[in-house]
Amino acid sequence: MTSSSRALLRSLSAAVALACSAAAVAPAAMAQELKIGYVNSDRVLRDAVPAKAAQSKLETEFSKRDKELNDAALRLKAAADRFEKEQPTLAESERGRRQRDLVEQERDLQRKRREFQEDLTQRKNEELSLVVERANRVIKQIWEQEKYDLILQDAVFASARVDITDKVIRALNAASAAK
């Protein structure tokens, strides 16, 4: 190898090393400038005081209806058991009538359960949307005050360093206590 070839090789090696180090430093510098936060929405909807209050409100609102449906199911089961016991001694016409009554009662109970579930789902969505709305306002407030560039609510993985869920829950709880 000639001296000029060695010099060229050294300068190419130096240029490659400089380019590699610059490429390694550039993302680190960019990452330091970018402030990212992550909020675990499920935890907010489970642990924040407004979410717990909404859940409690729903339980209170629907507990009576739920109990009535469970009582009706127990009565229907008792009637079906009684029919099974008495069926061999019943006249054909009486057996047919009671069987139709049981089928009709079962259909009615299923319809009432479906309506109950639809009503509960609708009310749950209404209550949760209010909590989500409040949480989004709190998140925006944190974003503005602490100068975040990006706050994510859904992520596959998030480091504890960027997780601001506890901060959001504390702010929501404080806002609820102030009311």
pLDDT of 136-164, one tens digit each? 999 999 999 999 999 999 888 888 999 99
For the beta carbon of residue 39, count every other beta carbon within 10 angstroms.
Answer: 26
Q: What is the mean pLDDT of residues 63-86?
A: 95
Residues 81 and 14 in one domain: no
Give the residue among 113, 98, 99, 174 at the shortest CA–CA distance from 141.
174
Model pTM score: 0.68
| Domain count along the chain | 2
Tell whether 26 and 38 lie within a shared domain.
no
Over residues 77-102, the mean pLDDT reads 92
**Two structure tokens written together for 126:** 């209404």
The per-residue pLDDT for 32 is: 62
Instruction: State the pLDDT at residue 27.
Output: 55
Domain identity same for 63 and 21: no
> pLDDT grade, residue 30 (50/70/90)?
low
Q: Please spell the DSSP secondary structure of 46-103, one letter per residue.
A: HHSHHHHHHHHHHHHHHHHHHHHHHHHHHHHHHHHHHHHHHGGGS-HHHHHHHHHHHH
**Nearest-5° Cα angle at 78, 76 to 80:** 70
Judgement on whether residues 64 and 41 belong to the same structural domain of the protein: yes
Share of residues in the chain with pLDDT > 70 (%): 82
pLDDT grade for 175, boundaries at 50, 70 and 90: confident
Residues 12 and 56 in one domain: no
For residues 18 and 104, membership in a common domain is answered with no
pLDDT, the chain, mean: 85
The boundaries of the domain holding residue 27 are 1-33
Please indicate, yes or no, whether residues 101 and 162 belong to a single structural domain of this protein: yes
If you average pLDDT over residues 101-122, what whole number do you get?
Answer: 97
- Are residues 76 and 18 both part of a single domain? no
On whether both 15 and 77 belong to a single domain, the answer is no
Same domain, 15 and 48: no
* pLDDT at position 93 over 60: yes
